[in-house]
Amino acid sequence: MSTVAESPFPWLEAPAKGLYREFEAGSLGHAPLLHGPKGIGKLTLSHALAETILCHSPLPASGGACGQCSACQLMAGGTHPDFFQVARAEDAKDITVDQVRELIDKVALTPAMGAHRVAVIESAELMNENAANALLKTLEEPPDNVWLIVVSHAPGRLPPTIWSRCQKVGVPLPDPKQARDWLDQAGAAFEPAHRELALTMSSGAPCLALAYLEAGLIETANEIWDTLSAIAQGQGIPPQLSEQWSENAQATWTCLAHWVCQLATGHVSIVHQPDAIHASEARRSPDWSELWNQALEGLALVGSGVRHDLLIGRWLLAWEDRCQQAA
């Protein structure tokens, strides 16, 4: 994504144009905080903004980066010497102070090519306390030529000191039709029913829905629902199930949270033998929200080193217990 017209995500055109316009007018803060739901393309938007800031001849009328100049070509190739990005390392639980210090040291140097240096902090809510404090010093006195683009889908988890020093830029979900149209094209290789389920599971965030499809999460979700239904029908919890499900705890918790939410809102129902438990009865039960909360807590603990097999085992017992009560 360089120019507004080339945006792969049509719903980002308006926020992108707004950011380019502010940069062009000199009113863009040195630390824009792009926040909004997970899986809508905020990181892509941050790169497009960085490209526009670094471009040698941005298009007129806030059209964004030219896509042609040497700076744009280096950005496209991922080798621009004045662009930096930090994210949580794959096996780490947070963004560390060393990562942030290294980033700040790099952006503080004189630009190698043009007038600016740009850094993107991906999923900034994952910064630990020391990392956030290190960033804060730069946010308080940003060098003139430095832009720190902060990206977060959970800005409530950022320290208030960071939040208050950034220029807030809310990135909204696309409307449902736009999301569906985009996923129909981008995810054309997948079954329509799977695309629909992926969009529901991602709460309408199209990029996250596509990631779910590509990761095979929809098949996993359907398998998990079949297993949950069997347990609900009194077939017992299969041995080794919690160990097996903990191998991809993120996927498991995502699916469990999804199905309990669907159950609580009456979009699915569990069927007992021989009597059916209908959604209207399920809605009266307060226990679904407890199971839902436990699934969200499990999801939040992914990467923290806890024993997910134990947590999933406990969740399954609660599920079985709840279903027996309902029978």
For Zn ion, the binding residues (CB under 5 A) are 55, 65-66, 69, 72
What contacts 24+ positions apart, CB below 8 Å, involve 137-145?
A: 137/104, 138/104, 138/107, 138/108, 139/30, 139/31, 139/165, 139/166, 140/165, 142/30, 142/31, 143/107, 143/108, 145/111, 145/115, 145/116, 145/117
Measured from the Cβ of residue 45, the count of other Cβ atoms closer than 10 Å reads 24
Min dist. Cβ of residue 169 to Zn ion (A): 22
Least Å distance, CB 4 to Zn ion, is 14
- Kindly tell me which of 65 and 218 has the beta carbon lying closer to Zn ion: 65
Q: Which among 278, 274, 284, 285 is positioned nearest to 319, based on CA atoms?
A: 285
Closest CB 86 distance from Zn ion, rounded Å: 24
Which CB, 75 or 205, lies closer to Zn ion?
75
Whichever of 69 and 318 has its CB closer to Zn ion, that residue is 69
Minimum distance from residue 22 beta carbon to Zn ion (Å):
18
Q: How far is the CB of 78 from Zn ion (least distance, A)?
A: 15
Select 80 or 153, whichever has its Cβ closest to Zn ion.
Answer: 80
Burial of 294 from C-beta contacts in 10 A (0-12 / 13-18 / 19+)? buried
Whether the Cβ atoms of residue 254 and residue 215 lie closer than 8 Å to each other: no
**Cβ-based nearer residue to Zn ion, 67 or 155:** 67
